[in-house]
Structure 1
Amino acid sequence: MGSPPLEPSRDEAQELLREELADPEYQRAFTGPLRDAIDAVLAWLGDRALSIGGVQIPYGPLVLVALLAAAIVLCILLVRPRLQRAGGVADELLNAETGLSAEDLRGRAGAHLGAERFDDAFRDLFRAVVRSAEERDLLSEQAGRTASEAARAVGGLFPEQAEALHRCGELFNLSHYGGRPLSAQDMEQLRQLEETLRRTEPSLSHGAAHRAARLVVPE
């Protein structure tokens, strides 16, 4: 005659269930292949050892530390440049060029263009556009001005060229911060725009407003 069936209380049944689920076989079933792979790698690392003078010296943990260090270095090398580029959009456009005239910047852009360094040529000629507006007393010199801000400010003075200025400001950012190479065609479009701006008088309403602001706000 068999044993009578157990009739545990509610608390005893919960405890039995917890003990059953704590069995390693259940844990493995719930975690799946990923846990199996991790366990296999850890077991392999745990078995690695060097025999020196009959003494077994485990080196598996050292391998694991080296792999972790390599992963950290790789993350730094990959992520840091992206963070720098992302933060660079707020960097100033002209502060590094203090003391250079628009003509100086045009000349430097021409030298870059002759060497087919289109990105450097484009950026210097765009800076020349902004510096020229400052020299014509259309814009006040402003530390920390970005390419996008400069394009909007100059575009406000030359509404017919505002769209082209915005496009050139975007190309400046893509080249300087996004790593996109510019072409001879991009440079030619900016060159034509720069010549047009030099020959064009600013919008009277915008120019008058700017001159009034300069009289009201000392610089």
Structure 2
Amino acid sequence: MPNWGEWAPLATGVPVTEERDAARDAARIERLDPAYHHHDPSLMQRIWDWVLEQLDKAFGAVGIATHGITTVMLFLLVLVVLAALLWWRLGAPRRAARSTAALFGTDRPTTADEHRAAAAAHAAAGAWAEAVRDQLRALIRGLEERTLLDVRPGRTADEAAAEAGRVLPEHAEALHRAARTFDDVVYGEHTADAAAYQALLDLDRAVTASRPSLAGSTT
């Protein structure tokens, strides 16, 4: 004779959910076992995959087809370009700071001949950076002594070269190069050598022998 108690749920239309829910809960708990996730990608791998996916979308938006190593190479290229831009933007203030440094120090004023003698002594010792520094100072001090330039403390090498170029226009380009050499050498961007010193020495002699342009003379 059938057990009507076992068939009661079916007869009343109530679904049997206890065993099904228990099985589902057991499966969920089993999936939490670390053994089932041993081969899952790491957090860093998921982040890297996401970055590559975004790059693929970005490059795809501008019509660049990418895949695998191509995406990585493009990503590295973008990083290099960004680094170069940052270097340029952050390096510019340092270059500007060098160009605004005073040509002469705060010590007692020295004559052009004293600077020439110091430059020659440095050159004899192979100290080319110091020789370049004193030789340009001798050149500018000589123009001040001839009253072709006003004596102005705090004047930079670039300013002195620009003012001297207006007084002696035939030497304007050479004076500009001399100021650039001074800045590059004295502030550490380039290494000085005998040729740099000799070029300044020759310019000093040429400037000393030149007559000023009345139109460009300072007042």
TM-score, scaled to structure 1? 0.57
Match of 2:77 in 1: none
Match of 2:158 in 1: 148
Q: Give 5+ residue unaligned stretches, structure 2.
A: 1-14, 18-39, 50-91
Match of 1:111 in 2: 121
Indicate how the Cα distance of structure 1 residues 2 and 91 shifts in structure 2: closer, same or farther if over 3 A, else same.
Answer: farther
Deviations 1:54-100 (A, max 9, x none): xxxxxxxxxxxxxxxxxxxxxxxxxxxx9877633322111335320
Match of 2:205 in 1: 195
Q: Say how many residue pairs are matched.
A: 143
Q: Give 5+ residue unaligned stretches, structure 1.
A: 4-24, 34-81, 214-219
Tell which structure's C-alpha radius of gyration is larger: 2
Indicate how the Cα distance of structure 1 residues 98 and 86 shifts in structure 2: closer, same or farther if over 3 A, else same.
Answer: same
Report the Cα distance in structure 2 between the residues aligned to 1:110 and 1:203, rounded to whole angstroms: 30
Amino acid at match of 2:47: T
Indicate how the Cα distance of structure 1 residues 138 and 30 shifts in structure 2: closer, same or farther if over 3 A, else same.
Answer: same
Shift of residue 118 of structure 1? 1.1
Match of 1:62 in 2: none
Report the Cα distance in structure 1 between the residues aligned to 2:208 and 2:182, rounded to whole angstroms: 20
Report the Cα distance in structure 1 between the residues aligned to 2:184 and 2:121, rounded to whole angstroms: 22
1:54-93 correspondence runs (5 A): 87-93=97-103
- Counting aligned pairs with the same residue, the percent is 32
Q: Are positions 1:180 and 2:190 aligned together? A: yes
Deviations 1:8-41 (A, max 9, x none): xxxxxxxxxxxxxxxxx899364348xxxxxxxx
Indicate how the Cα distance of structure 1 residues 26 and 92 shifts in structure 2: closer, same or farther if over 3 A, else same.
Answer: same
Match of 1:15 in 2: none
Report the Cα distance in structure 2 between the residues aligned to 1:102 and 1:117, rounded to whole angstroms: 19
Question: Which deviates more from structure 2 when the two are superposed, residues 179-188 or residues 128-137?
Answer: 179-188
Contact preservation (8 Å) 2:128, 2:197: yes
Match of 1:31 in 2: 47
Shift of residue 180 of structure 1? 0.9
Q: Are positions 1:123 and 2:133 aligned together? A: yes
Amino acid at match of 1:115: A
TM-score, scaled to structure 2? 0.57
Deviations 1:138-185 (A, max 9, x none): 111112111111111111111111111111100101011243111111
Indicate how the Cα distance of structure 1 residues 88 and 98 shifts in structure 2: closer, same or farther if over 3 A, else same.
Answer: farther
Match of 1:167 in 2: 177
Contact preservation (8 Å) 2:104, 2:137: yes
